[in-house]
Structure 1
Amino acid sequence: MYPRNLLSSSTGLAAAFVLLATLWGTSFVAIEAGLAYVPPLLFAGIRYAIAGVVVLAYAAVVSDRWLPSGRDEWLGIAVAGAFVIAAYHGLLYVGELYISGAVAAVIVSLSPVLTAVFAAVTLSEARLGSVEIAGFALGLLGVVIIADPAGVSTFTSNADGTLSPELIGIGLVFLSAIAFSIGAVLLRPLRTDLPIAALQGWAMVLGAGLLFGGAAVLSESPAAIVWNRTAILSLAYLTVFSGVIAFLVYFALLDAVGPTQLHLVGYAEPIVAAVGSWVLLGHVIEAEAILGFLAILAGFAALERREIAAYVSARTGVIR
């Protein structure tokens, strides 16, 4: 795991943020590369089946308790497995069949905005004011800019009015962000003292099972997998680096800075994904996606302005 003592300094925290953003940002590129050779739901299922076993083993070694007990803990695992792992990644992987990983990363960066809004609607301690509504609108505007910057032509590709592949991909990834946000909000009242590593490990295993079930429904066959160098490297990278190692860094940062500040990692991921997509795959992100990302970022800043200001003030006070 990322050494916790390194997180006691500003330099250590910054290094952990950069590492996590790099691992998760490049995962969008690795998914895009691997999808040419592995069916999407099988791809996601294999990744999380392996990662889940490793994370559970880690939890069993370092945690006081790794076996869940009680209704809330099992329900929490079910919510995380169904929404955060299975629905989010299933829709994301299928969506990346139609759009680049860099564009997918921009759309996924809407998740913190959606999470804040869903929390305000469903949780009694949160409320939506005019600024929060404006922030949500800015986030949605960002997705609209990405989806149809040039006009109605983006929505159709044929004379019969069928949806373009790009819009299908954007819609699926947008739904994946919604699934992740719903899961994050539903999980809040179900949190117990079950270590988060154990929760994530069980959720990964459950989510992998659901992804395999979805693959069977869609008739994805293991025989369709082309086990070449790209497929193996992308799967290994997603499982070991973007899966196990990234989640261990995530756990450490979550304890050190809390969830609001950790959301900021999501806004570095599209930048990493854009650079990685250009370097590795030769894809250049378009100006519309950049504008959409800036709108989403502005929406997040409006929604979480108090938490961000409190964090900056606290950090500045420490420096003084």
Structure 2
Amino acid sequence: MSRTRDLSAFLVMALLFGGAFPAIEVGLRYLPPLALAAVRYAVSAAILLTYAGATTDYWRPRTRADRTAVLAGGVFFIGGSGLTFVGQQYTTAGVAAVVFSAIPILTVLVAHVLLPGERVSRRGVVGLLLGFVGVAIVVRPESGAVAPGPGLGGGAGPLGELLVFAAALSVTVGTVLVRRSGPSMPTVALTGWAMALGAGMQVGLSAAVGESVESVRLAPAAVLAVGYLAVLASGVGFVVYFDLLSRFGPLEVNLVSYLVPVVSVVVGWGLLDEPVSASTLVGFGVVAAGFLLLKEKELAAELARYRGAAR
């Protein structure tokens, strides 16, 4: 019964996270990108902090490590992820999700630089290079591409994909810095405070680049998109993620990164009529192969442990 519940939780998490990229595409039709990001994270912060306040007494930062982690998470993890919203003006939901699937590979590289004791083997270096080759296949410049405007999933060369990749790198740096800071506060509360800080950053950046309030269009589709992103993808999705993380290792939980693009590609194709190119599928396969090579020993150990538990 517990295995069925855990498998269901993994599938729910993949569906919720995978649907976020198409929801961003829809939201961009009605709100400027940074404003959309700010609204999403502000509402999500309220949900997560309310949840944390109801489930634990330790819901506010108490130590220097807690404050450092909130700062790193807010600036790099949440703040940097705003580039995803900007980038998705020029690319499709499926392509954005495939580029984001490089995060597990980027995590190994960034941890190698920022965390003492984290080293990459020669086989791991090959896996890293293979993963970046996969990203390059997805990001390759398209000749004659013209930017069609916000939320329409077109291209301006590789601009959209490069912005999404920059967001993935920023998210990775934030994750590793949070890990290095060693906070004591519960992860849900930490994420809530980071989202509050990140939302504030998005508001400031939105004003700085001149995003206009007049460009906001209130429509049922806009409300549904923001509601999905804030309540389901971030609120429910993160709670499920943290629940699984408390019972499984990060390696197992982060494998969901390779289900998310599948969901995004299918939803984008089926509901938004987004094209799916062969290079996107090939690039995703190469990224996944790079991760398998990079984490071969860890994956083999996890598989052996699972088989042992099943006997």
Fold match, TM over 0.5?
Answer: yes
1:293 aligned to 284, 301, 307, which one? 284
Residues 54 and 308 (structure 1), Cα distance of their counterparts in 2 relative to 1, 3 Å cut: same
Residues 302 and 49 (structure 1), Cα distance of their counterparts in 2 relative to 1, 3 Å cut: same
Contact 2:41 2:198 in 1 (8 A): yes
Given the alignment of the two structures, is residue 133 of structure 1 paired with residue 125 of structure 2, yes or no?
Answer: yes
Which residue is 1:279 aligned to? 270
Given the alignment of the two structures, is residue 75 of structure 1 paired with residue 68 of structure 2, yes or no?
Answer: yes
Whole-Å Cα distance in 1 between the matches of residues 296 and 170 of structure 2?
24
SS of the aligned residue for 2:89 comes to coil
Contact 1:40 1:94 in 2 (8 A): yes
Residues 81 and 155 (structure 1), Cα distance of their counterparts in 2 relative to 1, 3 Å cut: farther
Whole-Å Cα distance in 1 between the matches of residues 145 and 242 of structure 2?
44
Residues 85 and 155 (structure 1), Cα distance of their counterparts in 2 relative to 1, 3 Å cut: farther
Deviation of the 1:190 alpha carbon: 1.3
Which residue is 1:94 aligned to? 86
Whole-Å Cα distance in 1 between the matches of residues 171 and 232 of structure 2?
21
Whole-Å Cα distance in 2 between the matches of residues 275 and 238 of structure 1?
18
Q: Letter of the aligned partner of 1:51 in structure 2? A: S
Which residue is 2:98 aligned to? 106
Deviation of the 1:192 alpha carbon: 2.5
1:18 aligned to 11, 17, 21, which one? 11
Residues 271 and 68 (structure 1), Cα distance of their counterparts in 2 relative to 1, 3 Å cut: same
Deviation of the 1:284 alpha carbon: 3.0
Whole-Å Cα distance in 2 between the matches of residues 129 and 121 of structure 1?
14
**Which string of whole-angstrom CA distances, capped at 9 and with x for unpartnered residues, describes residues 262-305 of structure 1?**
11111000000011011111113111000000111111112222
The unaligned stretches of length 5 or more in structure 1 are 1-5, 159-163
Q: After the TM superposition, which of the residue ranges 123-132 and 14-23 deviates more from structure 2?
A: 123-132
1:154 aligned to 142, 155, 172, which one? 142
Residues 210 and 284 (structure 1), Cα distance of their counterparts in 2 relative to 1, 3 Å cut: same
Which residue is 1:260 aligned to? 251
Q: Letter of the aligned partner of 2:45 in structure 1? A: G
Whole-Å Cα distance in 2 between the matches of residues 259 and 190 of structure 1?
17
Contact 2:47 2:231 in 1 (8 A): no
Whole-Å Cα distance in 2 between the matches of residues 267 and 302 of structure 1?
14
Contact 2:74 2:194 in 1 (8 A): yes
Deviation of the 1:37 alpha carbon: 1.1
Q: Letter of the aligned partner of 1:64 in structure 2? A: D
Deviation of the 1:154 alpha carbon: 2.4
1:185 aligned to 169, 173, 176, which one? 176
**Which string of whole-angstrom CA distances, capped at 9 and with x for unpartnered residues, describes residues 13-50 of structure 1?**
11111000000001100001110110000001001101
Q: Letter of the aligned partner of 2:76 in structure 1? A: F
Moved beyond 4 Å, runs of 4+ = 155-158
Deviation of the 1:155 alpha carbon: 6.1
Which residue is 1:42 aligned to? 35
Whole-Å Cα distance in 1 between the matches of residues 184 and 301 of structure 2?
26
Contact 1:29 1:277 in 2 (8 A): yes
Deviation of the 1:308 alpha carbon: 1.5
Structure 1 segment 209-220 matched on structure 2, within 5 A:
209-220=200-211
Whole-Å Cα distance in 2 between the matches of residues 290 and 82 of structure 1?
32
Whole-Å Cα distance in 1 between the matches of residues 97 and 145 of structure 2?
24
TM-score by length of 2: 0.94
Residues 222 and 300 (structure 1), Cα distance of their counterparts in 2 relative to 1, 3 Å cut: same
Whole-Å Cα distance in 1 between the matches of residues 219 and 157 of structure 2?
27
Deviation of the 1:156 alpha carbon: 6.4
Whole-Å Cα distance in 2 between the matches of residues 307 and 121 of structure 1?
20
Deviation of the 1:157 alpha carbon: 5.2
